[in-house]
Amino acid sequence: MSDADASDRDADAGRGGDAETADVDSSASAGRLDSETRQGPPYTESQVIMSTVKVVAPFAFTYGLFVTFHGGGSPGGGFQGGAITAAVVFMIAFAFGIESTRQWLANTVVVALAVGGTLVFAGLGLVPVARGGAFLQYDLLPLPYLDPVKYGMEAVEIVGIAPIVSGVLVGLFFVLARGFNGEGSGPPIGERGYLGSTSEDAEPAADGTDETDETDDPNSGSAGQPATDGGAR
């Protein structure tokens, strides 16, 4: 339960001068700690943001797909298109809450994108090797009626790079946003002891046991503790 607290403490320590001055005094007397008041409720439902994202998201998603699929004829490619597609997921998460987005886009999808893209890229590289050529020698790809070089490159960009980038970026987003609900990650924000004042923070390591089960029950976390993305903006 204390791993998220430990990571919080590390993040505090990484802020250099701020954390240093704050650590001298053990409590909130060093500077005014305004997280509770300033960040407000964990997730604020904003009609303006939700409506805007509802309108913008389809266009941004289409643009991401266009940049990916049309990378051969215009600026762009798999990396840029994958990043734009992942940014659409970020946008939706900021508007409708990270926790509900996490339930909507399951871990299986994220992992399948990243792993599948890597496997496709490696496979497209290894098929010519199996046929006696070099790694990624596109003209040896067995593509009937199609230019193997052109469509091999497009396959690498569309089915290889773009899923890797979008999957990994969305995964990083989710894994970084993990501690925002109280589920399995220590006390929720607002009840958490800051600046290492709780006793749990003294021993950050050696509890790898309670991490696997926290992901299989997404309902329990979102009901009481929505994500805190409203205040981060």
Partner 1 sequence: MTGATAPVAIDGVGSVSSVTFVTSVTPVVAEISAIEASLFAFVVLTALATAFARDVLAAVIIFGAYSLGMAALYTFYRAPDVALTEAAVSAGVTTVLLLLTLAKTTRIDHEAAFESVNYPAAGAVGLLFAGLAVTMADVPAVGSPDAPVWGNPDVSQWYLAETYARTGVENTVMAVLAAFRGFDTFGEAVVVFAAGIAALIVLRREVFA
- Of 94-153, binders to partner 1 (CB under 8 A) are 94, 102, 105-107, 110-111, 114-115, 117-118, 121-122, 125, 135-136, 138, 147, 149-150, 153
* Subset of residues 31 to 50 that bind partner 1, contact rule: CB under 8 A: 31-35, 38-39
Task: State the Cα–Cα distance between residues 68 and 160, nearest whole angstrom.
Answer: 11
Among residues 1, 61, 79, 198, the one that binds partner 1 under rule CB under 8 A:
79
Among residues 2, 43, 53, 80, the one that binds partner 1 under rule CB under 8 A:
80
Among residues 215, 217, 223, 224, the one that binds partner 1 under rule CB under 8 A:
215
Task: State the Cα–Cα distance between residues 27 and 228, nearest whole angstrom.
Answer: 23
**Max CA separation in the chain (angstroms):** 73
Among residues 2, 43, 86, 222, the one that binds partner 1 under rule CB under 8 A:
86
Q: How many residues does the chain have?
A: 233
Binding mask of the shown chain, residues 10 to 29, with x at each position contacting partner 1 by CB under 8 A: -xx--x--x---x-------
Q: Check residue 53 for interaction with partner 1 (CB under 8 A).
A: no
124-136: b (≥16 Cβ within 10 Å) or e: bbebbeeeeeeeb
Are residues 163 and 116 in contact, defined by beta-carbon separation less than 8 angstroms? yes
Query: Residues binding partner 1: what is the number (CB under 8 A)?
Result: 85
Q: Shortest Cβ distance from residue 97 to partner 1 (Å)?
A: 13
Q: Shortest Cβ distance from residue 109 to partner 1 (Å)?
A: 8
Q: Shortest Cβ distance from residue 103 to partner 1 (Å)?
A: 8
Q: Shortest Cβ distance from residue 55 to partner 1 (Å)?
A: 18
Measured from the CB atom, the residue of 96 and 138 that comes closer to partner 1 is 138
Are residues 225 and 42 in contact, defined by beta-carbon separation less than 8 angstroms? yes
Among residues 96, 195, 201, 221, the one that binds partner 1 under rule CB under 8 A:
195
Give the distance from CA 192 to its chain's centroid. Answer: 24
Give the distance from CA 36 to its chain's centroid. Answer: 25
- Token match 């943001």: residue? 49
Q: Shortest Cβ distance from residue 38 to partner 1 (Å)?
A: 6
Among residues 194, 198, 200, 220, the one that binds partner 1 under rule CB under 8 A:
194
The Cα angle at residue 198 between residues 194 and 200, in degrees rounded to 5:
120
Closest by CA to 218, choosing from 92, 79, 103, 98, is 103
Are residues 43 and 100 in contact, defined by beta-carbon separation less than 8 angstroms? no
Measured from the CB atom, the residue of 33 and 50 that comes closer to partner 1 is 33
Give the distance from CA 7 to its chain's centroid. Answer: 17
